[in-house]
């Protein structure tokens, strides 16, 4: 059975939140319904059309909320950010990111995107990465667009915040990492500078 209307609308919302640059046509294809249905759904959910969505990304509803990182220091382009909850960034793989021999993106760029997103999502003036475990699921090629999604999982026993980041190219996971973030202002201790 195809998704119920409720379920579809729920997924629709998520999909658009994740990839705001998607057209109705592509959404219709994905959900196996007509374009009109997608448009009805958008209307019911009051989700604006593509161009308006792009505009609102461009007009920085997000960028004023970044605390730990000046936005220009985030690797990749932040398209969504809710502090201490989640963040999404896009990195287009360009010639400077790849090994010249095979046009595969060098790992540290994917790491950099994920790590800086993990730093950016922390609602703190100062956040540092204490450690991380990562995995490169499949190589990323020149020209591909990597969408990194960070989600704050909560704090561990030592007061470190765990941030999971998964990066995708066309819905294929290419990178997964768990970052253990150190926040300056966790315990009462003010600590040196």
Return the residue of 69, 83, 142, 162 that touches its own copies, per CB under 8 A.
69
Distances (CA, A) of 183 to 113, 126, 129: 19, 6, 9
Where does 44-106 show beta strands of DSSP type E?
A: 77-82, 86-92
Q: How far is the CB of 6 from DNA (least distance, A)?
A: 8
- Stretch in the footprint of its own copies (CB under 8 A) among 7-15, 30-38, 40-48, 70-78: 70-78
Cα separation, 67 vs 136, in Å, equals 28
Of 127, 139, 144, give the one whose Cα is nearest residue 87: 127
Least spacing, CB of residue 147 vs its own copies, in Å: 12
Rounded Cα distance, 159 and 69, in Å:
20
| Residue 171 in the binding site for its own copies (CB under 8 A) | no
Q: Contacts with DNA in 2-41 (CB under 7 A)? A: 5, 8, 23-25, 33-34, 36-37, 39-41
> How many residues of this chain bind its own copies (CB under 8 A)?
54
Q: Which residues contact 34 (CB under 8 A, 6 or more apart)?
A: 28
CB of 8 to its own copies, least distance (A): 26
Binding window for its own copies (CB under 8 A); candidates: 8-16, 25-33, 100-108, 156-164: 100-108
The answer to whether 23 contacts its own copies (rule: CB under 8 A) is no
How many C-beta atoms surround the C-beta of residue 6 within 10 A? 8
* Binding region for DNA (CB under 7 A): 1, 5, 8, 23-25, 33-34, 36-37, 39-43, 48-51
């Amino acid at each position: 059975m195809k998704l119920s209307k409720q379920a579809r609308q729920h997924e629709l919302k998520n999909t658009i939140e994740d990839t705001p640059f998607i057209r109705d046509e592509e959404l219709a294809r994905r959900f196996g319904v007509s374009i009109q249905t997608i448009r009805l759904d958008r209307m019911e959910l009051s989700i604006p059309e593509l161009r308006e969505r792009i505009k609102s990304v461009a007009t920085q509803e997000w960028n004023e909320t970044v605390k730990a990182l000046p936005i220009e220091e985030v690797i990749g382009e932040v398209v969504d950010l809710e502090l201490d909850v989640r963040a999404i960034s896009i990195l287009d793989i360009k010639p400077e990111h790849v090994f010249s021999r095979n046009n595969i993106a060098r790992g540290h760029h994917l790491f950099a995107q994920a790590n800086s997103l993990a730093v950016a999502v922390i609602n703190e003036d100062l956040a540092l990465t204490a450690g991380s475990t990562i995995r490169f699921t499949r190589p990323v090629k020149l020209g591909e667009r990597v969408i990194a999604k960070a989600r704050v999982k909560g704090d561990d026993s030592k007061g470190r915040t765990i941030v999971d980041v998964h990066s995708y190219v066309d819905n294929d996971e290419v990178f997964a990492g768990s970052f253990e973030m150190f926040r300056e202002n966790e315990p009462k201790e003010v600590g040196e500078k």
